[in-house]
Structure 1
Amino acid sequence: CYVPLDPGGPRARLSAIAADAGVSLVIGDAAVAEFGAVAGIDVPPPAAPGHCPATPDTTAHVLYTSGSTGRPKGVLTSHRNIVAFVTGFATRLGVGPGTRTLGISSLGFDAFTMDVFVPLSVGGSVQLAGTADRADPERLRRFIVEHDVDWGFITPTLLSLVDPADVPGWRTVACGGEPVPAELVARWLPGRRFFHVYGPTETTVVVVTDEVTGVPADPLPLGTPTPEHRAHVVDDDLRPVPPGEVGELLIGGPGLAAGYLGSPELTARKFVEDPFTPGSRLYRTGDLARLRSDGRLEFAGRADRQVKIRGQRIELGEVEAALGAHPDVGAVAVEAVPGPGGTRLVAFLSPASAPSDADIHAYAGERLTEAMRPAVLRRLDVLPVNPVTGKIDRPALRALAGDEPGEDLGGSPVAEVWRKVLGPGAGPDFLLAGGDSITAMRLVAALRADLAADVSVEDVFTGRTLDELTRRVAAAAPLTGPGLTTGHAPALSPPQRRLWFL
Structure 2
Amino acid sequence: MIAQLVKSAADQGVYLYAKEGALHFDLTVAEFPAALKQDIIANKAEIIAFLSHAQSAGSESQGPQPGEYPDGCVLSYTQQRFWLLEQMQSGQSQYNMPVALNVEGALELTLVEKVLSTIVARHQILRTVYREQDDEVRQHVLQDSEFTLSFVDLSDSEGEQQQAQLSQCLLEEAQRPFDLTRQLSIRGQYLKLHGAGHAQQGVLLLTLHHIASDGWSMDVLINEFVTLYRAYSAQQVNPLPELALQYADFAVWQRDKMQGGEFEKQLTYWQQALEDAPLTHSLPTQHHRPEVKQTRGAHVTTSLPAYVAQQLELVARQAQLSPFMLMHAVLGVVISRHSNQSDIVIGTPVANRADEGLSPLIGCFVNTLALRLNTCHSTLAEYLDHVRQVHMNAQVNQDVPFEQLIDALNLPRTSSYTPLVQIMLTTNDKFTDGADESSLLNLPDLRLSPLQGSHPAIKFDMEIALNISDKHIETTWNYDVALFDAEFVEQLSEHFNNALISLADMTAQTRSTLPLNRLSILGDKLESYLIDGLNNNAADYPVDQCIHEVFEQQAMQTPEQIAVKFGSKQLTYRELNERANQLAHFLTREYQVTPDSFIGLCVERSLEMIIGTLAILKAGAAYVPLDPAYPRQRVTYMMENSGVKIILSTHFIIEQLDLTDYHSICIDGLGNAQVVQTFVDYPTYNPSELVKGLTSSNLAYAIYTSGSTGKPKGVLLEHKGIVNIAFNHRHYLKVDGQSKVLHFASMSFDAGTWEYVMALLSGATLVIADSVQRLSPESITQLLHSEAITHVLLPPAFLAMMEFRDDLALKALAVGGEACDQEVVEQWGGTYRMVNAYGPTEISICATWAELRPGQKVTIGKPLKNTSAFVLDSNQALLSPGVVGELYISGVGLARGYHQLPEQTAERFVSNPYFDGHNKCVTETLYKTGDLVRYLPDGELEYLGRIDQQVKIRGFRIEISEIEGLLSECLDVDAAVVTVATSATGAKHLVAYVQLSNQTAVNSASGHENINDSQAAIQRIKTELADRLPDYMVPGMFVPVSQWPLTSNGKIDKRALPEPDMTAVEGEYIAPETNSEKRLVIIWAQLLHLQESEISTSANFFALGGHSLLVSKLVRAVTSDPELQLQQIDMQDIFTAQSLAQLAQHIDLLRMQQLNAQAADSICDQDLVEDGEI
Deviation at 1:44, TM superposition (A): 2.5
2:641 aligned with 1:20: yes
CA apart distance, 1:34: 3.9
Alignment of 1:245 with 2:865, yes or no, is no
- Secondary structure, aligned partner of 1:293: coil
Greater shift, 288-297 or 93-102, is seen at 93-102
Distance 1:238 1:259 in 2: 19
Could you say if the C-alpha distance between residues 43 and 182 of structure 1 is closer, same or farther in structure 2, counting changes exceeding 3 Å? Answer: same
Q: Does 1:175 align with 2:815?
A: yes
Kindly, what percent of the aligned residue pairs are identical? 29
CA distance in 1 between counterparts of 2:1050 and 2:792 reads 22
- 1:59-89 C-alpha deviation (Å, 9 max, x unpaired): 1111011111111110000111211121123
Match of 2:859 among 216, 221, 226: 221
Partners of 1:345 and 1:43 in 2: CA distance: 43
Aligned partners of 2:884 and 2:934 also within 8 Å: yes
Q: Which amino acid aligns with 1:292?
A: L
- Paired residue secondary structure (1:163): coil
CA distance in 1, matches of 2:832, 2:625: 33
- Name stretches of at least 5 consecutive residues in structure 1 with no aligned partner: 308-336, 349-379, 386-392, 443-502
Q: Is 2:943 the counterpart of 1:299? A: yes
Supply the distance in 1 between the matched residues of 2:915 and 2:1050 (Cα, whole angstroms): 48
**Amino acid across the alignment from 1:71:** K
Q: Equivalences for 1:427-442 in 2 at 5 Å? A: none
Task: State the AA in 2 paired with 1:146.
Answer: S
- CA distance in 2: counterparts of 1:259 and 1:9, whole angstroms: 24
Distance 1:408 1:139 in 2: 25
Q: The residue matched to 1:272 in structure 2 has which SS?
A: strand
Conserved? CA contact 2:815–2:836, under 8 Å = yes
- The reply to whether residue 231 of structure 1 matches residue 877 of structure 2 is no
Judge conservation of contact 1:104–1:128 (CA < 8 Å) in 2: yes
Distance 1:441 1:285 in 2: 19
1:276 CA drift (Å):
1.4
> Counterpart in 2 of 1:490?
none
Report if the CA contact (8 A) 2:741-2:759 is conserved: yes
Distance 1:96 1:189 in 2: 22
Residue correspondence of structure 1 range 338-417 to structure 2 within 5 A: 343=977, 382=984, 384-385=985-986, 393-394=987-988, 396=989, 398-399=990-991, 410-411=1005-1006
Equivalent of residue 32 in structure 1, options 654, 663, 673: 654
Secondary structure of the structure 1 residue equivalent to 2:767: strand
**Letter aligned with residue 198 of structure 1:** Y
Hey, what does 1:140 align to over in structure 2?
Answer: 780
- The residue identity in structure 1 corresponding to 2:897 is G
Q: Does the CA-based 8 Å contact 2:818-2:1051 persist in structure 1?
A: no
Q: What are the Cα deviations for residues 98-143 of structure 1, in whole angstroms up to 9, with x where unaligned?
A: 1111111110111112211112111111111112322222222221
Distance 1:36 1:206 in 2: 35
Change in CA separation of 1:44 and 1:127 when aligned onto 2, cut-off 3 Å: closer
The structure whose Rg is larger is 2
**1:130/1:23 CA distance change after superposition, 3 Å:** same
C-alpha distance in structure 1 between counterparts of 2:813 and 2:1044, whole Å: 29
CA deviation digits over 1:175-232, x for unaligned, max 9? Answer: 1211111221121122321111100000011110111246223xx1110000011100
Picking from 910, 913, 916, the partner of 1:278 is 916
Q: Per the alignment, in what secondary structure is the counterpart of residue 742 of structure 2?
A: strand
Quick check: 1:89–1:226 contact (8 Å CA) kept in 2? no
State the shift of 1:249 in Å.
0.5
Tell me how far apart the structure 1 counterparts of residues 830 and 1040 of structure 2 sit (CA, whole Å). 37
Tell me the equivalent position of 1:44.
Answer: 665
Counterparts of 2:707 and 2:894, CA distance in 1 = 19
Cα distance in 1 for partners of 2:799, 2:1003 equals: 32
CA apart distance, 1:295: 0.6
Matches within 5 A, 1:151-162: 151-162=791-802
Quick one: which amino acid aligns to residue 759 of structure 2? P
Over residues 299-355 of structure 1, what are the superposed CA-to-partner deviations in whole Å (9 max), with x where a residue is unaligned? 122122699xxxxxxxxxxxxxxxxxxxxxxxxxxxxx999865487876xxxxxxx
- Aligned mates of 2:633, 2:950 — CA distance in 1: 22
Counterpart mapping for 1:32-111 below 5 A: 32-39=654-661, 41-46=662-667, 47-48=678-679, 51=687, 53=691, 54-111=694-751
Q: Report the CA distance between 1:13 and its aligned residue.
A: 1.4
Q: Do the aligned partners of residues 439 and 23 (structure 1) sit closer, same or farther apart at CA in structure 2, a change above 3 Å counting?
A: closer
Aligned CA distance change for structure 1 residues 267 and 292 (closer, same or farther; 3 Å) = same
Write the distance in 2 (CA, Å) between the matches of 1:104 and 1:254: 26
Contact 1:141/1:166 (CA < 8 Å) preserved in 2?
Answer: no
Query: Partner residue of 1:257?
Result: 895
Distance, in Å, in 2 between the alignment partners of 1:177 and 1:130 is 20
**In 2, are the aligned partners of 1:82 and 1:255 still within 8 Å (CA)?**
yes
Q: Supply the AA of the counterpart residue of 1:290.
A: R
The 1:5/1:98 distance shift into structure 2, 3 A limit, reads same
Q: How many residues align?
A: 356
Question: Is 1:2 aligned to 2:646, yes or no?
Answer: no
In structure 1, the partner of 2:931 is 287
> Which letter maps to 1:287?
D
Matched, 1:124 2:764: yes
Q: How far 1:57 moved relative to its partner?
A: 1.5
- Contact 1:245–1:290 under 8 Å retained in 2: yes
Within 1, Cα distance between the matches of 2:720 and 2:872? 27
Once residues 286 and 235 of structure 1 are traced to their aligned partners in structure 2, the CA distance between those partners, rounded to angstroms, is: 11
Equivalent in 172, 195, 200 of residue 835 of structure 2: 195
CA contact (8 A) 2:811 2:833 kept: yes
CA shift in 2, pair 1:228/1:6, >3 Å: same
Tell me how far apart the structure 1 counterparts of residues 886 and 757 of structure 2 sit (CA, whole Å). 30
SS in 1 for 2:700: strand
Q: Is contact 2:931-2:947 (8 Å) kept?
A: yes
User: Is this contact kept in 2: 1:250–1:282, CA < 8 A?
Assistant: yes
Going from structure 1 to structure 2, the CA distance change for 1:197 and 1:306 (only over 3 Å counts) comes to farther
Which structure's residues are more often helix, by fraction? Answer: 2
Partner-residue secondary structure (3-state), 2:665: coil
In structure 2, the CA distance between the partners of 1:120 and 1:250, relative to structure 1 (3 Å rule), is same
User: Any conservation in 1 of the 2:793–2:813 contact (CA below 8 Å)?
Assistant: yes
Aligned to 1:476: none
3-state SS in 2 of match to 1:3 = strand
1:449-488 equivalences under 5 Å are none
Selected match of 1:266 from 866, 890, 904: 904
Relative to structure 1, is the Cα distance of residues 400 and 129 closer, same or farther in structure 2, using a 3 angstrom cutoff?
closer
Q: Shift of the alpha carbon at 1:162?
A: 2.2
Q: Distance in 2 between matches of 1:23 and 1:440?
A: 28
Mapped contact 2:993–2:1040 kept (Cα < 8 A): no
Mapped partners of 2:1003, 2:762: distance in 1: 56
Matches of 1:44 and 1:188 in 2, distance apart?
A: 44
Q: Which residue of 2 aligns with 1:481?
A: none
Instruction: Report the Cα offset of residue 172 of structure 1.
Output: 1.5
State the AA in 1 paired with 2:802.
V
Q: Write the distance in 1 (CA, Å) between the matches of 2:932 and 2:1050.
A: 32
Distance 1:23 1:294, change over 3 A: same
User: Structure 2 length as normaliser, TM-score?
Assistant: 0.28
| Aligned-partner SS, 2:635 | helix
TM-score w.r.t. length of structure 1: 0.63
Report the equivalent of 1:486: none
